[in-house]
Amino acid sequence: MASPSTVQAAKGGSHGEARAAQLRAANINPRTGLATDYLNHFNEAIMLLEMIPDMPECADDFLAWQPLSYAEHFMASNFKARDLAIEAYDAADTKTRAEFDRITDTMTSILTAVGSAMRDARQDKTRTTLALEATGWVKPLVALAGGIINGGTEADIETIMAS
C-alpha cells in the first residue's frame, strides 16, 4: 500500500513530483517525510557511551548530552534544509510520526535515565556497566527508527528487534 505522501505526490502531478525531488535532494524520505539526520543526535550519545569503558572520563561528555526533539535538533543544526525537514515532519502521516516519536521518546528516556544514574554513580565500573547496558538498549531502537524513516514494514521492524 502506498503511503499518504506517495499518494499525495501522485495526485499532485508535477507539483508532487517536484516536492518529492526536493525532499530527496535534502535527504528527507518523500514517502515518510522524515530525515535520518535526526538519528545523529542519538548516535552521538551512543558513541560517547561506547567510549566510557576505555576512557571513563568520557562519562562527563555523555552527561553533557541534552535531549532534543526533532524540531529542536534541526533548529540547532547546520542542516541545509532544516526548515523543510521540520515542515515535512509536521506534514508526515500521523501514524508513522507517532510510531517514530514513540521510539525516539523511548531512546530519550533511556539516555536521560542512564545520565541520572551515572551522575549518582561513584565508581567508574558502575558507569561502564550503565554505558554498556544503555548502548545495548538504544542501538536497536536507532535501527528501528531508521527503518521507520526509510518506510520499513512491520516485518522489517520485527527482524531488527529479533537481532
Choice between 156 and 28, residue whose per-residue pLDDT is larger: 28
Please, are residues 58 and 51 in contact by the beta-carbon 8 Å criterion?
Answer: yes
Residue with cell 521492524: 157
Question: What percent of the residues of the chain are helix, what percent strand, and what percent coil, each to the nearest 5?
Answer: 75, 0, 25
| Its pTM surpasses 0.85 | no
pLDDT in tens, 71-108: 999 999 998 999 999 999 999 999 999 999 999 999 99
The 8-class DSSP code of residue 93 comes to -
Distance CA 131, CA 111 (A): 9
Residue showing cell 552527561: 63
What's the mean pLDDT in 51-66?
A: 95
Provide the β-strand partners of residue 35: 28
Q: How many CB atoms lie under 10 A from the CB of residue 127?
A: 23
pLDDT at position 19: 87
Per-domain residue ranges for the chain? Answer: 36-162
The residue assigned the cell 547496558 is: 133
Average pLDDT, the chain: 88
Work out the average pLDDT over 40-54: 97
